[in-house]
Structure formats: C-alpha cells, structure tokens
C-alpha cells in the first residue's frame, strides 16, 4: 500500500462519519465520500498529500453531496425536511472525535438485515476505504456485480431503518459478534488464497488485522476482540511457510517453522496469554490459544497435543460445529493414537451433510495413513480430492494419494 | 455454474408454433433472470450459445493445430448456455436454476466452480 492509499484508507471512515453526522443520509454520503477518495487518489498522487487530508476530503465530499442535491432540488427539499434533528445538529455532549465513527460504521455495515457477503463488501468499502474495483478483484467477481452488491446493501440498510448510532446496550454483544465474524471472513478470504490473482486477496488479511486493531484500541477490555486479533496474527505469521513457490499447500506438520514470522507470533502469543488470564473466555480466544500452542512448538513433534485436545474440548462447548469436531479428532489421534481419532470420525460420518464434505474424507485418510492402513487411506484421499472445490487442496490430496500407491 | 443442456432432436420434434412460443417466452424469462441476478449482485457472467452446427473442435497433436467443424454425431446433448453466479449456497444456486425456463423441458445442471483458494490441512 503506498502512502497516499494508506492515508485515504485511514481517513475514509472518519470523513464518512463527519458527513453522515452533519447531513444524515448514509447512502448518499457514502457515494460522495467514495467520489472524494477517487479524486484524492488522482490529485494527491500528482501534488502530494495536503496538510489536512481529512479537511480536504470532507470539503470535496460535501461539495459532491450538494452538487448532487442541487441537481434534484425538489428531492433535496424533501430529504432535508425528513432529516432528524439529531443528525442536523449534534448535541453539545456528542463525541466530536472521528475515532468512534469507525465503530458506528462497522455496526452499520454489519447490520443483521444484510447477508454475510454484503456485510463483508460494505465493510471493506465503507470502513476499509477500498474501492469497488479492489473489492471485486479480491472476490473474483466483475466490478459491476460488486457495485451492485454494495448499492443493494446500502438500500437494505436504509430500508431496515438502521440509524447512525451505536446499538443499544442489550444488543451490543450480539452485534459486536457479527462485526467480529465479518472481519474473520475478510481475513479468511485473504488467507486461503495461495497463488495467481490472489495478491489482491492477501491484502484482505492485512485489512482485517488493521480493522481488528482499531476495534481493540476502542474496546481494549473485550476478550474476544483481543482473541480474534491474536488468532489472525498467529495464523498470518505462518503465511510464508504454508505454500511452496508454485502455490501448492504445505500442511502444518511439514512446514519449515523457521519461516514463521517470529515477531508476529510473539505479539499473538502475548495477547492470548494476557487475555486468557483476565477476560471472559470465548471461541476466538480458544482458537487463538490453540494456534499459540502450535506456535510454541519448535518442531511438529514437540506439539503439546493433550493441551490442544483440552482446548478443543472447551471450544466444542462454546461453538459445536463439524469443523471443530474434525480438528479435535486429529488432536485426539495425535495425543492418544490414530484409532482413537478414527473412532470419533466414524461417529461423524453418520451426519449426511458432513459425509459429503471433503474435509471429513481428508481427515479420515490422514488418520488411516497414521494407523498404517495405506490402501483405505489412499481411497479416502482420492474421495476427498474428488469432493473439494479448491484447486490447491485437490492437488495436495491427489499427491497424498499418489504417495500411497 | 448453471449449465443448460439441450437436445436439438427434442427441440426439432416440437410443432413450429409451440417452438416459437417457447422461444419467445424463454428470451423474456432469461432477460428477467439476468436483470434480477445483476440487481442482487450474484451474476458473474451469462451467455447463450449458438447452435452446435456453428461449433469447431480444436485439437493440438505434436504441436499441430487442427480444427474441424461440428456438430458431433457422438453427442446427443449440447451446452446451450450457462450462468456463472456467485451466491451464498448450493440451495440458492438450485433455486436460480429452477427459474431457468429450459429446466422445464430440458435439464439444467448445477456444479461448483473450482477456487484457487485452499487451507493447509
């Protein structure tokens, strides 16, 4: 990210917050800010960043907004009449700082009336300051499709009557969980990319980490915010080691751990350690703790599997889901022998949805190989390879199958 | 990917009046699906393909390119068109496929596209 882009991305939510506070009409303001950001990208690139970038952007965006309204005077009058007082004139005790606008905007973009893909797209544009073209590239869809997704999301927010305000106290926890989940999805979308046009997707991991860091500054005592940040850091630290130069995947056990980013790992482990001792525990903290146990093993064979099993036991109580159960089966196998893991898998295979899922077959294959049963292991790897829709995973699973024949 | 498979023999066997009515309605229905998918932000691309009589098969053997005119006697069914959609679930894709008029007299196949992303296992 160059310096102009960094400034723009940093300023985007504050500029939008200032405009919405003053004018109301989130959707029109968002369009105006987007136009101002695009204009700034061109002009600042040529003439340098102005002394007050935020002032510059607010001025230009406001001008766009009034131009737009002037072009439709009748509508302007109607809209102005409909503006709530609170938004026209902020109360004297209103927080004037742009800092917590980020949080208000995050809650708005992650409004429960939107589908997760819409929440993700809107968050990246409104809070992340990414252009529609960048988001479209990251999600491998045409720009027109992404533009439509974003504009529809804005209409839905308007239709839902969402306000530019923090959610009420009783809904706070639930709404924050949605925000964290959306940022988790953004991170994941970036992390799983392995090659090709995915340079853009790697940008998503950085963006997700940047946004979680911002939330953490605003909510330093929230254990799950800290947990999510730690989880992202501990995962991202392995990025270089997880693929070969040709984009093929390297499983955790075979990664060259010297390639793990030690500074990032240290930061992640530090956050987990500090958070677990003083906050109410939650799923992100537990997943981060599991990642921290892996991070602390110098070699794969040094991994403290019994501790990982114990953490998965607690995680299963918080958020029982098939992926957690499968991961736990692997940990059980590593701690107590392959057969113990296989027994758990057999119970899961009764679940029709999971029985079709490639990951179940991949885990079973892995455990069968560990148990010294190459023939059924090979068949299970092939079954998993046929069922996955991920090219790199398919390549990896086929290679494992071939190794056994 | 929503693939519309069609058998020209079935189509040709219809009385001309029925064929014209079906085709006319189908064009309007496809246009409506396109518009709806664009609005919902789910459309990646869609295309109707020309008659298989216009297709050419391309083969490269030992670096030599040969292309031959279709259609191909061995194939009974042809890909008549497709929609590539980016939607939340397979169930949603099936719901869209069921709106495609061709599903009423031919067959629409729904299959996931491969992704370049993957998790280390």
Of A141, A195, A201, the CB nearest to B44: A141
Subunit contact A396:B121, Cβ cutoff 8 A:
yes
Subunit contact A195:B116, Cβ cutoff 8 A:
yes
In this prediction, residue B103 carries a pLDDT of 93
Check whether A148 has a pLDDT greater than 80.
Answer: yes
pLDDT band per the 50, 70, 90 thresholds, residue A76: low
Would an 8 Å CB–CB cutoff place B91 in contact with chain A?
A: no
Mean pLDDT over residues B13-21, rounded? Answer: 84
What is the number of domains present in chain A?
2
> How close B45 gets to chain A, by Cα (Å)?
8
More confident residue, B18 or A365: A365
Subunit contact B43:A145, Cβ cutoff 8 A:
yes
Q: Which of residues 14-43 of B touch A (CB under 8 A)?
A: 38-43
In this prediction, residue A91 carries a pLDDT of 41
More confident residue, B69 or A384: A384
* A378 is a domain residue: yes
Mean pLDDT over residues A96-110, rounded? Answer: 78
> How close B121 gets to chain A, by Cα (Å)?
5
Query: What span, in angstroms and rounded, lies between the C-alpha atoms of A11 and A9?
Result: 6
In this prediction, residue A93 carries a pLDDT of 40
Each residue's pLDDT tens digit, A154-172: 999 989 888 888 888 888 8
* A268 is a domain residue: no
Each residue's pLDDT tens digit, A293-349: 999 999 999 999 999 999 999 999 988 888 888 999 999 999 999 999 999 998 888
pLDDT band per the 50, 70, 90 thresholds, residue A79: low
Check whether A94 has a pLDDT greater than 80.
Answer: no
Query: What span, in angstroms and rounded, lies between the C-alpha atoms of A274 and A291?
Result: 15
Any idea which of A66-80, A150-164, B25-39 has the lowest mean pLDDT?
A66-80
> How close B17 gets to chain A, by Cα (Å)?
37
Of A117, A201, A393, the CB nearest to B88: A117
* A160 is a domain residue: no
Subunit contact A366:B44, Cβ cutoff 8 A:
no
* A341 is a domain residue: yes
- Domain boundary among the residues A78, A93, A123 is at A78
Each residue's pLDDT tens digit, A191-244: 887 665 555 677 889 999 999 999 999 899 999 999 999 999 999 999 889 988
Query: What span, in angstroms and rounded, lies between the C-alpha atoms of B85 and A87?
Result: 39
> How close A199 gets to chain B, by Cα (Å)?
12
A with B: how many residue pairs have Cβ under 8 Å apart?
A: 88
In this prediction, residue A299 carries a pLDDT of 94
DSSP A193: B
Check whether B96 has a pLDDT greater than 50.
Answer: yes
* A9 is a domain residue: yes
pLDDT band per the 50, 70, 90 thresholds, residue A1: low
Within chain B, residue ranges assigned H as helices are: 8-12, 16-40, 90-99, 102-105
* A243 is a domain residue: no
Subunit contact A394:B114, Cβ cutoff 8 A:
yes
In this prediction, residue B20 carries a pLDDT of 85
Of B41, B114, B116, the CB nearest to A152: B41
Query: Can you give the residue range of the structural domain that contains A33?
Result: 1-78
> How close B89 gets to chain A, by Cα (Å)?
11
Of A144, A359, A389, the CB nearest to B114: A389
In this prediction, residue B37 carries a pLDDT of 94
Would an 8 Å CB–CB cutoff place B112 in contact with chain A?
A: yes
Each residue's pLDDT tens digit, A18-41: 999 888 889 999 999 999 999 999
Helix A283-296, helix A305-318: angle, nearest 10 = 170
In this prediction, residue A246 carries a pLDDT of 81
Tokens linked to A40: 């700034």
Check whether B121 has a pLDDT greater than 70.
Answer: no
More confident residue, A81 or A292: A292
For B120, the closest chain A residue by CA position comes to: A251
In this prediction, residue A88 carries a pLDDT of 41
For B117, the closest chain A residue by CA position comes to: A193
Query: What span, in angstroms and rounded, lies between the C-alpha atoms of B90 and B94?
Result: 6
Percent of chain B residues topping a pLDDT of 90: 52
pLDDT band per the 50, 70, 90 thresholds, residue A72: low
- Domain boundary among the residues A78, A109, A136 is at A78
* A395 is a domain residue: yes
Of A144, A255, A391, the CB nearest to B116: A391
Any idea which of A18-22, A81-85, A201-205, A371-375 has the lowest mean pLDDT?
A81-85
> How close A145 gets to chain B, by Cα (Å)?
5
In this prediction, residue B52 carries a pLDDT of 85
Check whether A84 has a pLDDT greater than 60.
Answer: no
A18 with A99: CB under 8 angstroms? no
Tokens linked to B48: 């109707």
> How close B12 gets to chain A, by Cα (Å)?
36
Long-range contacts of A266-274 (CB under 8 A, 24+ apart): A267/A233, A268/A229, A268/A230, A268/A231, A268/A233, A268/A234, A268/A237, A268/A292, A268/A295, A269/A230, A269/A234, A269/A295, A269/A296, A271/A226, A271/A227, A271/A229, A271/A230, A271/A233, A272/A227, A272/A230, A272/A234, A274/A226
Subunit contact A396:B40, Cβ cutoff 8 A:
no
Subunit contact A250:B120, Cβ cutoff 8 A:
yes
Mean pLDDT over residues A81-104, rounded? Answer: 52
Contacts of A139 in chain B (CB under 8 A): 86
- Domain boundary among the residues A50, A78, A106 is at A78
* A338 is a domain residue: yes
For A388, the closest chain B residue by CA position comes to: B114
Q: Which one of A141, A249, A251 would you mutate to disrupt binding with B, by most B Cβ within 10 Å of its Cβ?
A: A141
Each residue's pLDDT tens digit, B45-66: 999 998 888 889 899 999 999 9
Point out which residues pair with B61 in neighbouring strands: B64
Q: Provide the ipTM.
A: 0.79
Would an 8 Å CB–CB cutoff place B96 in contact with chain A?
A: no
């Amino acid at each position: 990210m160059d310096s102009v882009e960094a400034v723009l991305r940093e300023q985007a939510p504050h500029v939008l917050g200032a405009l919405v506070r003053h004018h109301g009409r989130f959707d029109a303001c968002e369009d105006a800010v987007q136009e101002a950001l695009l204009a700034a990208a061109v002009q600042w690139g040529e003439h340098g960043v102005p002394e007050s970038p935020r002032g510059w952007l607010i001025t230009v965006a406001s001008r766009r907004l009034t131009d737009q309204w002037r072009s439709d005077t009748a509508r302007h009058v109607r809209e102005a009449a409909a503006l709530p007082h609170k938004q026209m004139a902020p109360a004297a005790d209103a927080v004037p700082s742009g800092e917590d606008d980020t949080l208000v905007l995050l809650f708005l973009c992650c409004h429960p009336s939107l589908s997760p893909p819409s929440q993700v797209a809107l968050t990246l544009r409104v809070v992340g300051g990414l252009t529609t073209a960048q988001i479209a590239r990251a999600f491998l869809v045409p720009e027109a499709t992404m533009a439509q997704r974003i504009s529809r999301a804005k209409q839905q927010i308007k239709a839902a009557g969402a306000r530019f305000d923090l959610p009420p106290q009783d809904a706070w926890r639930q709404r924050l969980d949605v925000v964290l989940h959306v940022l988790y999805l953004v991170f994941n979308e970036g992390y799983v990319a392995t090659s090709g046009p995915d340079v853009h997707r790697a940008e998503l991991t950085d963006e997700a980490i940047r946004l979680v860091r911002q939330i953490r500054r605003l909510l330093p005592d929230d254990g799950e915010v800290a947990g999510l940040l730690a989880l992202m850091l501990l995962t991202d630290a392995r990025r270089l080691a997880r693929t070969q130069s040709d984009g093929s995947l390297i499983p955790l056990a075979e990664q060259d751990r010297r390639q793990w980013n030690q500074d990032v790992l240290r930061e992640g482990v530090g956050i987990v350690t500090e958070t677990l001792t003083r906050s109410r525990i939650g799923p992100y903290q537990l997943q981060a703790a599991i990642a921290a146990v892996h991070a602390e093993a110098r070699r794969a064979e040094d991994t403290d599997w019994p501790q990982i099993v114990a953490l998965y036991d607690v995680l299963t109580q918080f958020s029982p889901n098939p992926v957690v159960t499968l991961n736990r089966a692997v940990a059980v196998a590593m701690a107590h022998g392959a057969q113990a893991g296989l027994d758990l898998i057999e119970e899961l295979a009764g679940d029709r949805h999971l029985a079709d899922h490639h990951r179940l077959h991949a885990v079973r294959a892995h455990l069968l190989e560990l148990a010294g049963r190459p023939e059924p292991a090979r068949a299970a790897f092939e079954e998993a390879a046929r069922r996955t829709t991920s090219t790199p995973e398919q390549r990896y699973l086929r290679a494992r199958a071939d190794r056994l024949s | 990917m929503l693939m519309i498979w069609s058998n020209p023999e079935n189509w040709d066997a219809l009385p001309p009046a029925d064929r014209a009515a079906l085709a006319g309605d189908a064009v309007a229905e496809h246009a409506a699906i396109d518009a709806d998918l664009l609005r919902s932000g789910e459309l990646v691309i869609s295309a109707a393909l020309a008659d298989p009589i216009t297709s050419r098969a391309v083969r490269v053997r030992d670096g030599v390119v040969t292309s031959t005119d279709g259609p191909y006697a061995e194939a009974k069914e042809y890909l008549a068109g497709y929609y590539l959609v980016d939607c939340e679930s397979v169930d949603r894709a099936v719901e869209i496929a069921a709106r495609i008029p061709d599903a009423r007299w031919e067959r629409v196949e729904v299959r996931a596209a491969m992704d370049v992303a993957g998790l280390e296992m």
